[in-house]
């Protein structure tokens, strides 16, 4: 059954393949015009790639006007995405011709096109920008083709410096998926049923807090400017005249939001970590006993987290909403990307022996779900505590920029 609820967050709209996750192994912005991200030489990837084409029609230089006619609006967006973004064999791409934005390297068909796209404004309400092109046009191409865009090579590593600081060690264990959970798309809350089974998760370190604006800006300033994007969802990080990134005073400890799946993955790589699987996230939030909410089974109230309003709260606010292990903010304030592709049947089907060991989600994205990725924790809701339950499931296109942030994990070697 479905119930329509009042929510204001996690907007619609939509990866590099998930790295193989092993249970018992441990391991120690848009670039300015003409600015290329330095990188180590690597083998040329095989398979198809996205390539940007120069606009031949001035109408393609502007965004479609807002309209109540959704079919016409989508027709115009589809037409722009097919015209400006081609799919070609990777071997035919000139590796020196590219632009970078939102964590992705986008190849272009000529030096002229490279100059054109690099000269686009960083912000515009009516014209095209690289951020808008990635989010609204490439997102459409990806939803149809399922071809993974190429991430910008991450420069540097803070893994040794960061270590396990600010992380909580969770011993491995098992928890139960009861066969009953809630899911949602847009403003609809659906109730679903499936098999009951156990899930086994290895020991992991989990970030105590969501990644903050200050932490993400540090990543950008460490040589990764192409992982920035201009989005209305987060104006806290801005680019200064020197090409660096600043955080608005007072917003340093707020969660970074408006980052897509690839931006979150890039930061995690730089930090020597990765995004959690859905199973790891559920285990961290609900524990072995399967708490309804991260703090326990009590209905949410204003002491437990930031659940209403347009603004965000500091990541270390609301200690009453932390898990018994001391992990903050796993419900409300901002949703959190997970590594898994989305599929309901994968989640609802029990293994033959009733124990699912260290699940990492479907091996690949599914066309019927437009290759969406999981996120958990939701963001801010009014009148419906089900949105904040640990088992609540939701998926979005990986190129979405909305009220979604993230936290990271790493193997919990002992």
pLDDT > 70? residue 14: no
* Segment of 107-116, 178-187, 393-402 carrying the highest mean pLDDT: 107-116
Q: What is the structure's pLDDT at 45?
A: 64
CA angle 160, 269, 25 (to 5 degrees): 70
Domain positions in the chain are: 2-15+160-411, 48-151
Residue with tokens 């995004």: 275
Q: Kind and range of the H or E element at 373?
A: strand 373-376
Region 56-65 average pLDDT: 85
Task: Find the mean pLDDT for residues 138-148.
Answer: 95
Tokens for 400, please give them. Answer: 């979405």
pLDDT digits (tens, 9 = 90+) for 224-277: 999 998 777 778 999 999 999 999 999 999 999 999 999 999 999 999 999 999
Listed in sequence order, the residues at least 6 apart from 305 whose beta carbon sits closer than 8 Å to its beta carbon are: 313, 318, 321, 329, 331, 332, 333, 388
Determine how β-strand 167-170 pairs with β-strand 204-207: antiparallel
- The tokens describing 208, both together, are 């105590």
User: Mean pLDDT over residues 370-389, rounded?
Assistant: 86
Instruction: Give the Cα separation of 260 and 370 in Å (integer).
Output: 16
Judged against a pLDDT cut of 70, whether residue 6 lies above it is answered with no
> By the 8 A CB rule, do 237 and 375 touch?
no
Query: Rounded to an integer, what distance in angstroms lies between the CA atom of residue 255 and that of residue 55?
Result: 37
pLDDT at 29 over 90: no
**Tens of pLDDT, residues 318-347:** 999 999 999 999 999 999 999 999 999 999
Q: pTM of this prediction?
A: 0.88
Q: What is the mean pLDDT of residues 72-97?
A: 93
Topology given in CATH for the domain delimited by 2-15+160-411 = 3.90.1580
Residue 46 has pLDDT above 80, yes or no: no
Residue 126 has what pLDDT? 86
Average pLDDT, the chain: 87
Cite the DSSP H helix spans in 190-260.
213-221
pLDDT of residue 60: 85
Percentage of the chain exceeding pLDDT 70: 88
User: If DSSP states are collapsed to H, E and C, what string results for 71-94?
Assistant: HHHHHHHHHHHHHHEEEEEHHHCC
Higher pLDDT, 46 or 119: 119
Task: Give, in degrees to the nearest 5, the angle at Cα 290 between 267 and 26.
Answer: 40
Chain centre distance of CA 96: 28
Q: How many helices (H) and strands (E) does the chain have?
A: 9, 22
The predicted pLDDT at position 39 comes to: 46
DSSP code for 10: S
Phi, psi of 277, deg, nearest 5: -75, 165
- 120 compared with 36, residue with greater pLDDT: 120
Summarize pLDDT for 99-113 with one digit per residue, the tens: 999 999 999 999 999
């Amino acid at each position: 059954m479905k119930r329509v609820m009042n929510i204001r967050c996690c907007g619609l709209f939509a990866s590099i393949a998930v790295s193989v996750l092993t249970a018992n192994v441990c391991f120690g912005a848009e670039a300015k015009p003409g600015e290329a991200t330095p990188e180590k030489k690597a083998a040329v990837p095989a398979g198809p790639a996205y390539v940007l084409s120069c606009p031949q029609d001035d109408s393609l230089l502007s965004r479609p006007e807002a309209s109540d006619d959704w079919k016409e609006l989508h027709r115009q967006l589809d037409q722009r995405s097919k015209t400006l973004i081609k799919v070609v064999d990777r071997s035919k791409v000139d590796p020196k011709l590219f632009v970078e934005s939102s964590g992705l390297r986008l190849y272009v068909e000529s030096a002229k096109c490279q100059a054109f796209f690099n000269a686009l404004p960083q912000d515009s309400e009516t014209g095209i920008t690289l951020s808008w092109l990635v989010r609204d046009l490439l997102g459409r191409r990806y939803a149809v083709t399922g071809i993974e865009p190429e991430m910008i090579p991450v420069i540097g590593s803070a893994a040794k410096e960061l270590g396990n600081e600010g992380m909580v060690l969770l011993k491995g264990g098992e928890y139960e998926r009861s066969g009953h959970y809630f899911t949602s798309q847009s403003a609809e809350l659906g109730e679903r049923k499936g098999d009951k089974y156990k899930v086994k998760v290895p020991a992991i370190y989990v970030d105590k807090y969501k990644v903050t604006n200050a932490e993400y800006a540090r990543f950008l300033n460490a040589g990764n400017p192409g992982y920035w994007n201009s989005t209305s969802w987060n104006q806290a990080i801005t680019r200064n005249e020197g090409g660096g990134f600043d955080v608005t005073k007072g917003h340093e400890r707020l969660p970074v939001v408006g980052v897509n799946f690839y931006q979150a993955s890039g930061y995690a790589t730089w930090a020597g970590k990765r995004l959690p699987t859905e199973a790891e996230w559920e285990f961290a939030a609900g524990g072995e006993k399967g708490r309804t909410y991260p703090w326990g089974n009590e209905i949410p109230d204003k002491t437990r987290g930031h659940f209403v309003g347009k603004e965000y709260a500091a990541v270390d606010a609301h200690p009453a909403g932390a898990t018994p292990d001391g992990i903050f903010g796993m419900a409300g304030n901002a949703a959190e990307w997970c590594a898994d592709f989305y599929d309901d049947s994968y989640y609802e089907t029990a293994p033959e022996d009733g124990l699912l060991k260290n699940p990492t989600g479907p091996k690949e994205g599914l066309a019927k779900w437009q290759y969406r990725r999981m996120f958990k924790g939701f963001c801010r809701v009014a009148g419906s505590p089900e949105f904040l339950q640990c088992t609540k499931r939701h998926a979005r296109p990986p190129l979405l920029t909305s009220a979604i942030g993230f936290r990271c994990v790493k193997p919990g070697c002992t």
